[in-house]
Every structure is written in C-alpha cells, then in structure tokens.
Amino acid sequence: MSPLRSARQSLTRRRFLTCLGAASLPSVRGKGLGVFAGSSPFPPESGRERNPATPVKNRAPLAASAFYPLPLGRIRPEGFLRRQLQIQANGLGGHLDETWPDVGPASGWLGGSGESWERGPYFLDGLVPLAYLLDDARLKAKAQKYLTWTLDHTSADGMIGPQSNDDWWPRMVMLKALTQYHEATSDVRVIPVLSRYFAYQLNALRSRPLRDWGRYRWQDEALSVIWLYNRTGEPGLLDLLRLLQQQGYDWQAEFVDFKYTQRTTPEAIGLTPGSGLTDRGMQTHGVNLAMAIKMSPVWSLVSGEDLDRRAVLQMLRELYRYHGLPNGIFSADEHLAGLNPSQGTELCTVVETMFSLEHSLAILGDPALGDLLERLAFNTLPGAFTDDMWAHQYNQQPNQIEVSLQSKPWTTDGPESNIYGLDPNFGCCAANFHQGWPKFTASLFMQSADDGLVAAAYAPCAVHVALRNTPVHVIEETDYPFHGSIQLTVNPVSPVDFPLLLRIPAWASAASVSVNGKPAPDPQPGTFARIERTWRRGDIVSINFPLTPRASRGYHDSLAIERGPLVFSFAPGEDWVKLRNRGMTADWQVFPSTQWNYALALAPESIQESVTTIESAVGEGPFTRAGAPVKLRAKARKLPSWVGEDGVAAPVPQCPVKSDEPEEQITLIPYAAAKLRITAFPQLKTPDA
C-alpha cells in the first residue's frame, strides 16, 4: 500500500456494478441525408439505443483501413485489467471534478465562468470510455453533465463550446468525446450537432484558419470528421478534411529531413520568459509529436497514397533514433530531449502516443505498432502513477533516482515536473492522463476489413461482436504480459466462418498456437497469424509466448533488460515525504533510502545463463512494488564513480565500465512497479573484454 493510499484511508470508496449489453443497432450509411442541412439519420423518437455490434467501415472515396476498432463497450476488461480501470475510477480518474476546480462545477464546459479551454474536454475524453467500459452509473452521470451541456447549448450558427473562446483546438478534443459517447449510446443528438458544427467550421476556416495548437493537432479532428462521413456520406465533410490538411502543419515533411536530432534548449527554439511557443517550439513539443504520429496514416485514408501510409514508420524511426528511451517512449520534457535516460517524458505524451498507435495500427495493420503500443501500456503508462492512481507525475524518467523539487534535467519544464501529485508542473496531464487505460482496453480487438476478428493487443477481456451477421462472444483469459499463456474461447451463437488474426510480437521467436489442442502452423514473429475456419461454440485457441529475458543496447552502450513487452528496473529503497495536501489527494516527494548506482555483470549474448526469473501469481496490484508477479535476479557491482547531482542521475557512463566493488545479486522488477528506478545500466567489463 502506497503512502498516498494510507493517507486517505477515511475516504469513502464506492463499488461499481458491471454488466455487458448484447443488443445491437444497425449502422446507418444511407445516401442523401442532408446532414449539413441539420437533419439526423436517426428518428427523434428512437432515443438512446445500445451500441452497434459492428464497426462502421470507411465509405468511398476513403481508402479502406486494414482493421476497424470495435464500438465502445463491445470489449469489456476482465482480470487485472479490470482491476486497473477500477483503481483509476476509485482514484483521480473518477473523482477529479470533485477536487480540482479546473473541471469542477464552474467549468466553462458546464456553462460556468471557470476554465473554458482544453481541460474539460480532456477530462471527458477519458471519462467517457472509462464509464462505459466499467458500465458505471456514477461515472456516466458525471460525463453526462458535460455532454448534455455541450449538446444542448450550441450556437445558432453551429458553434459548440464556451463562448469565452473560439479556439478550434479544445473543440477537437470534445469531438473525440462526443463520437465515443455516440458509439456507446447512439444518442440521437450527437450526429446533428457534429454536422452543424462541421458545416460552420468549413465556412469559418477560410477567414479564421487553424492556428497555434489546432494547426499542429489537426489530425485529431480529421479522425472525427472521417467518423461522421462514414455515417452520413455528406460530401462537404471531404472538403473540410482537405481544408484541415491544407491549413495544418505537415508533420510528414518534417521527418523527411529531420533536423531536431539533439536535446532541445530554450535558445534553440527561441523560448523567452513570458513568450509563447515559436514554430520550432511547436515542432519539438512532445505532445504535438505524439499526436502527429497518426497524421500520415489518417491522411492516407483521404489521399489513398502508399507514401502516406509508410510515412509513420519513418517518423518513428527518426524519433527513436535520436530521442528513444529504454522504457519505450521518446524523451520530451517538455521538448525533445535526446537519448540520455535521465531525461523525462510528459505523461500526456505517453497517452497521446498510445492513442496515435491505436489508430495507426487500425489503419495500416502493421503488427510492429502493436508491439510498441503494448510496451507503452505495460511500462510507461502505469509507471507515471502512484499505486492507487491518486497522484501522477508530469515527467517520468527511466533512470529516476529522486522525485523532488529539482530544476534539472528538464529541457524547459519547472521544478515540480517529476513529483507525484494532483497537477504537477502543468495541469493538462491531470485532465488527460485517464484516456490511457480505457482506450487501450477498447483497442484490444478489432475487426478486419474482410470481417474477421483481430487480436491487436493482449490482456484479459471479453468481446461481444457480430461477425458475418453472427453474434460472437470471445473470452480472453490471460495474465499476459506477466505470464506468457493466452487462451481465447470463441462462442458464436451458430457455426460461422471468419478469420481470426493473432498479433505475434517481433520478440516472440518461439511462439506457438493451437486450436482445440491441435497445433497450428508455427507463427512468424512480427506478423499476424491467420486462422481461418468454421468456428463453433466452445472452440479454444491457445497461444504461448515464451517469455525469456533479453538485453538491448542504448545510450553509451548501456543495457536495458526486457522480458516480453515488460522492461525491468532496479528499485532502490523509497522514502516518501508529503509535500502538501491537495484536497482529496496530496503532492509527494520520494527520496532513495539505499544505493542505486549498479552496473550489470552480464553480456547480452549470454543473458539466459546470467539472469534468473522468479514468477508468482498475478494478484491485486501487478504494477506495484509489493505485488510484482515476476522478478529477475542478476549479478551486479556498485559503481561508485556513477553519481547523482541535484537529485538526477549522471548520464550512464560509456560502457563497458570497471568496478572493484564486491559482486552482488540484485533484483529487478517491472518498470512500472519501481517509483524510483534504474532502467539503463552500465555494463561491467568481463575478464576477457
């Protein structure tokens, strides 16, 4: 139990009901609906229905996607994943409006005089999927207040949102919340409101073009425009897509000749006290880049160009070549920060990268994007929170030896950047963080273009979907990523032919798949294994991923230890010190109580002989230090020459290194379980080096 949880033992905890709706509503794809005239494809008397059982596919002339995400609510979390979402609902994710004025009763998105920009929409963008994935009445009621105000208070010209600002950017976020809400409920108000707003925007953009954040984040709105076009077919929406692309920043061009290959400095981006971000600042901003990852795949649906489809891989190569960190994310504290694992990454960057990967994977069908998505979901996402998710960091570091008020090593952020708290440094992450777990859950399964079912990522869940006009229920039972076995039980209401696609990670060189106990052909790493058959109730697909430790090289030839999608860290002792109370929560500093400066005595090519794996059952808190269900034991020596300064670990020394300290056995735990951690290790010289 974390100190933060024990400090709040007296707080009431509500229990949540769970249920799974199975009814479906046919998709509406008729022509001539006159949407820009304000009509709705749903009859007013139909009210709210349960969400449809199949996704709506891309309508011509849009290019087809490889996969289509299932409507919100068709996937329900189970096992440890459900517990993780429940922890979020019991923590800040489900109570933020009760303790933080920025999204409280005075919010501009409730008609009040309070914060009226991005924080209300950010809150909704995570609250809506959390509420409907847990089928939680309390959370739905919270979300409904903001949704109803937005839907019922549109201007006569079609504009939505508070009248105190006309910035396009916060409305781009609210559009995402509204489309998710419609998928879960089919509320008949949503499509007419979106249609009128887009019609208004198409005219207004010519005199009031995209600027600032909206210019760099236009692809997020493009997703919502495509979502509506696939339901209405209104040609004006295609015109709006082209106008957004023309006015938006061309991220693809930035990465054709990528110039931001070094750690960003304020001088390099022209940042001065009290000034706004320059174009260079926007182009190196971590959250902008995270959102931009999906730009080329999204635009490829309009352009149909293979060059646009492939561009995301070039972007990821450049980002990770110059700024990649061993925890799976690129450095961005606030701006691109190089390869040093003592640099940090903003939590908003993590969740927005996940969201971009989820959509890019759906559009392209590239399994490598799923590999990266899992690495973020199981390491950097939970790594930024206290165990009870009542506090989070703005910046997290792979080599994080102290959580304190420090001015180093951030590129432009302030001294509260890595403390655990309510809204450290900037409050955007307090509102935005909780989209991470829910949207990952909603992306575990997708539907293929040929009406098959795709296991895009793995975690315990249950799926209700209609495949080739047949309702199918799939149960996924697994403790992955901690253990390597996965079982899918396929239950169609009647026998039905469809392909089942299973993502085989690139690291899974010895994976195996069987159907009803009979081995399937050996799956190839870095592909989707395809099983096509007539499925009958009770069919069982067994997947086994041998999870063996492996080592990767990083900054200064340092070593990072991995096992499956998990990254492992050494966790020194932790001394938690409360900085201040913050309403229902608190801000915390954490100081090391034991030494952290170890170098590993192993060689990557012989890691199997050098590392011992200790497994245990997955319990209530697999991402906590006390509940970590897998640990690694490795030989190491202290490295006295590797020190910290002002609470920051010095850069990992160039490897190999020498130490005369006695050899020890140290324990490594999953990255997210270690709130203080060393993840990138120096490698000791071997006798024959």
Q: Does residue 662 lie within any of the structural domains? A: no
Within its chain, how far is the Cα of 168 from the centroid?
23
Q: Does residue 496 lie within any of the structural domains? A: yes
> What's the pLDDT score for residue 274?
77
Beta strand pairing call for 453-455 and 496-504:
parallel
Torsion angle of the four alpha carbons 431, 434, 438, 439, in this order, in degrees rounded to the nearest 10: 60
Q: Does residue 352 lie within any of the structural domains? A: no
Could you give the C-alpha distances from 526 to 505, 523, 529, 539, in angstroms and in order? 5, 9, 9, 25
- Residue given tokens 């199997």 in the structure block: 608
> What's the pLDDT score for residue 221?
98
Q: Does residue 489 lie within any of the structural domains? A: yes
How far is Cα 47 from Cα 652, in angstroms, rounded to an integer? 60
Q: Does residue 141 lie within any of the structural domains? A: yes
Q: What is the residue range of 453's domain?
A: 445-478+485-544
Torsion angle of the four alpha carbons 645, 649, 652, 658, in this order, in degrees rounded to the nearest 10: 70
How far is Cα 431 from Cα 207, in angstroms, rounded to an integer? 31
Name, in order, each residue with C-beta under 8 angstroms of 68's C-beta and a sequence gap of 6 or more: 55, 56, 57, 362, 446, 447, 448, 449
> What's the pLDDT score for residue 50?
60
Domain with residue 457: its CATH number is 2.60.40
Torsion angle of the four alpha carbons 88, 90, 92, 97, in this order, in degrees rounded to the nearest 10: 120
Beta strand pairing call for 611-615 and 512-515:
unpaired
**Residue 45 DSSP code:** G
Interhelix angle 92-99/119-134, rounded to 10 degrees, is 140
> What's the pLDDT score for residue 604?
84
> What's the pLDDT score for residue 4?
38
Domain boundary, last residue among 544, 573, 589: 544
Q: What angle do CA 84, 87, 89 make, to 5 degrees?
A: 110
Domain boundary, last residue among 216, 248, 280: 248
β-bridge partners, 541: 488, 515
Token pair listed for 406: 């420090």
How far is Cα 596 from Cα 677, in angstroms, rounded to an integer? 8
Residue 124 backbone dihedrals phi, psi, to 5 degrees: -65, -35
Q: What is the mean pLDDT of each run of 10 residues along the chain (689 residues)?
A: 37 28 30 30 36 93 98 98 98 97 97 97 98 98 98 96 96 98 97 98 97 98 98 98 98 96 95 88 98 98 96 97 98 98 98 98 98 98 98 98 92 95 97 97 98 98 97 98 98 98 97 97 97 98 97 97 98 98 97 98 88 96 97 97 96 97 97 98 79
Q: SS3 for 44?
A: helix
- DSSP string of 89-116? HHTHHHHHHHH-GGGSTT-GGGTSSS--
- Give which of 213, 248, 454, 223 is closest to 356, Cα–Cα: 223
How far is Cα 477 from Cα 455, in angstroms, rounded to an integer? 13
How far is Cα 560 from Cα 355, in angstroms, rounded to an integer? 25
How far is Cα 367 from Cα 358, in angstroms, rounded to an integer? 11
pTM: 0.92
Secondary structure (H, E, C), 354-400: HHHHHHHHHHHCCHHHHHHHHHHHHHHCHHHECCCCCCECCEECCCE
Torsion angle of the four alpha carbons 287, 293, 295, 296, in this order, in degrees rounded to the nearest 10: 160
Residues in the chain: 689
Interhelix angle 218-232/190-204, rounded to 10 degrees, is 120
Token pair listed for 4: 């933060």
Token pair listed for 340: 């040093």
Within its chain, how far is the Cα of 651 from the centroid?
28
Interhelix angle 79-90/92-99, rounded to 10 degrees, is 10
- Contact by Cβ (8 Å): 608, 363: no
Q: SS3 for 573?
A: coil
Which helix (H) or strand (E) segment holds residue 313: the answer is helix 306-323
> What's the pLDDT score for residue 412?
93
Could you give the C-alpha distances from 504 to 27, 457, 514, in angstroms and in order? 32, 9, 14
How far is Cα 92 from Cα 80, in angstroms, rounded to an integer? 19
Q: Does residue 519 lie within any of the structural domains? A: yes
How far is Cα 102 from Cα 117, in angstroms, rounded to an integer? 10
> What's the pLDDT score for residue 44?
31
> What's the pLDDT score for residue 687?
59
- Contact by Cβ (8 Å): 609, 24: no
How far is Cα 7 from Cα 509, in angstroms, rounded to an integer? 46
Which helix (H) or strand (E) segment holds residue 529: the answer is strand 527-535
Mark out the alpha helices in 135-189 (DSSP H runs). Answer: 137-152, 168-185
Domain boundary, last residue among 201, 221, 248: 248
- Strands (E) in 263-326, as ranges, are none
Number of domains in the chain: 2
Q: Does residue 499 lie within any of the structural domains? A: yes
- Give which of 183, 143, 155 is closest to 49, Cα–Cα: 183
Q: What angle do CA 246, 251, 257 make, to 5 degrees?
A: 125
Q: Does residue 271 lie within any of the structural domains? A: no
Name, in order, each residue with C-beta under 8 angstroms of 321's C-beta and a sequence gap of 6 or more: none
Q: Which amino acid is at 537?
A: R
